[in-house]
Amino acid sequence: MATTTKTTTTKRKKPTAKRPAKKRAKAAPKRRTPKRVATVSLSKFEGLTDLLNKVEIEAVKIAKRLIDRAEEASAELRNSIEDLVDLVFDAADSVSGLEGMDQVMLRGKSVTFDTGM
């Protein structure tokens, strides 16, 4: 018996440009098994809580002091502007032609007068 063998020749394919790989959806992360957590004494946290409470109280005191100082400065400025207005009226009364001067507006640090001229 004679055996026949077939020989086949395969042609090599030309290399082609690689296509970009398709992006795959990320799989959900695996859940970790819970580990035992060491118990911490509460006294450590109580000390921290007390410290935070003291800091908060001091911060409130400082804020109140700053607000009071700002209000005092505002009152002083208001008083000094009113003093300035009084001085302007006194000076206007002594100058001829300015006797009828009126204050038109007082806004912030600005004062506006009308001389009637």
Q: What per-residue confidence (pLDDT) applies to 104?
A: 76
Q: Exposed, middle or buried by CB within 10 Å (0-12, 13-18, 19+), for 70?
A: exposed
- Predicted pLDDT of residue 62: 92
CA distances from 82 to 28, 100, 111 (A): 72, 18, 9
Q: Can you give the pLDDT at residue 83?
A: 85
Tokens 């090599």 locate to 12
What pLDDT, on the 0 to 100 scale, is given for residue 61? 93
Mean pLDDT by 10 residues, the chain (117 residues): 59 63 67 62 74 91 92 84 84 79 75 77
User: Could you give the CA distance from residue 68 to residue 46 in angstroms, rounded to a whole number?
Assistant: 33
- Predicted local confidence at residue 44, as pLDDT: 67
